[in-house]
Structure 1
Amino acid sequence: MIRFQFFPRSHGITTDVKAVIQCFQKVENEISSGHLKLNSNDVLEVLRPHLEELEYDVETGKTKNDKIHVPVLFGYNNQIDKSFNADALSKDGKIVIEVEAGRAVDNNQFLKDIFQACMMFEVEYLIIAVRNDYRGADDFMKIYSFLETLYISSRLHLPLKGILLVGY
């Protein structure tokens, strides 16, 4: 079952973010962590045609040329000095997608995803997709609880308009 929650919870989901949710819903039976043990690259590969229909650039492999580079720092003559990689990026550069599997919670990969999205030039929204079931644990709810605390406490202010958490 595809689950999702947008943060902050006081804001609604935009049309563009909703379109990404629909991509996950279209392939739900092919990526469900309840009965399949796909890695994040496999999940991204299933999502690829649907995201590309929305004109997203989607990572095609692990070599430098296959990755989606999002600028972070600029140097002389506006040359990119530093960039971070994303699994997918909207055509306008405002929505970044990260698909995680086993490392989402155990290695705190979701925290790295949040940090990197906050540093990326012109990115406004982060979509993090995680397993609903990983080795009997509910990664979606673990990250949900973290994000809920982050936004309710209001002690840390992110430069993003929002984060969508998707459980697959």
Structure 2
Amino acid sequence: MQDTNIQYQFFPRSIGLIEPMEEVINVFKKAEDKISSSTNDLKSDDVLSIVRPELEKIGYCVEQNKKDEGKIKVPVLFGCNNSIDKHFYADAISADRKIVIEVEAGRATESHQFLKDIFEASMMFSVEYLVIAVRKIYRNHNDFERIYPFLETMYITNRIKLPLKGILLIGY
């Protein structure tokens, strides 16, 4: 694949990328010219719509729209007769339901949306990995560079133990 300005880091850093994560990174690399925050000012839904076809090709179910039937509900709590009592929404989920993708734009660091994404993915049934894709350029700062130390600190200090096997941070 050609040179790219897409940045990524998998946490914990002591574990290398698994193949499904490489496939997700390649989706963002393929769309780089359309989604790069250095040349485009897109909302998260716009970025998601651009990467949707390639994510679907590699087996992801991707949010279609903001209407209830277009959203992806991931179970959190189950009730009687295995009904879903609580769910959270995901932007995309792998066919095996182990990888959740969240695409963020302006709210990634402004309102600490990435922390909410981590919490929700940690509560989702069967989810093992989280991918958070964020802008590299937003209001004169780099969301990728702002989030990286949070994740680095969380994994190095080991004070918070997540049920997730890993988090992939992508900067577009």
Task: Return the TM-score normalized by structure 2.
Answer: 0.97
Q: Secondary structure at the match of 1:132?
A: coil
Q: Secondary structure at the match of 2:88?
A: strand
Q: What letter matches 1:79 in structure 2?
A: S
Q: Secondary structure at the match of 1:126?
A: strand
Q: Could you tell me which residue of structure 2 aligns to residue 162 of structure 1?
A: 166
- Gaps in structure 2 of 5+ consecutive residues: none
Distance 2:59 2:160 in 1: 32
- Encode CA deviations 1:82-123: one digit per residue, 9 max, x unaligned: 000000000000000000000000000000000000000000
Q: What letter matches 1:61 in structure 2?
A: N
The partner residue of 2:116 within 112, 115, 132 is 112
Q: What letter matches 1:96 in structure 2?
A: V
- Runs of 4+ deviating beyond 2 Å: none
Distance 1:150 1:142 in 2: 14
1:124 is the counterpart of 2:124 = no
| CA RMSD of superposed structures (Å) | 0.4
C-alpha deviation, 1:147, in angstroms? 0.3
Q: Could you tell me which residue of structure 2 aligns to residue 18 of structure 1?
A: 22
C-alpha deviation, 1:35, in angstroms? 1.2
1:28 is the counterpart of 2:32 = yes
Q: Could you tell me which residue of structure 1 aligns to residue 54 of structure 2?
A: 50
Task: Return the TM-score normalized by structure 1.
Answer: 0.99
C-alpha deviation, 1:55, in angstroms? 1.3
Q: What is the count of residue pairs matched by the alignment?
A: 168
Q: Could you tell me which residue of structure 1 aligns to residue 84 of structure 2?
A: 80
Quote the sequence identity (%). 60
Q: What letter matches 1:151 in structure 2?
A: Y
Distance 2:97 2:57 in 1: 16
Q: Could you tell me which residue of structure 2 aligns to residue 100 of structure 1?
A: 104
Q: Secondary structure at the match of 2:108?
A: helix
Q: Could you tell me which residue of structure 2 aligns to residue 148 of structure 1?
A: 152
Distance 1:62 1:151 in 2: 33
Q: Could you tell me which residue of structure 1 aligns to residue 6 of structure 2?
A: 2
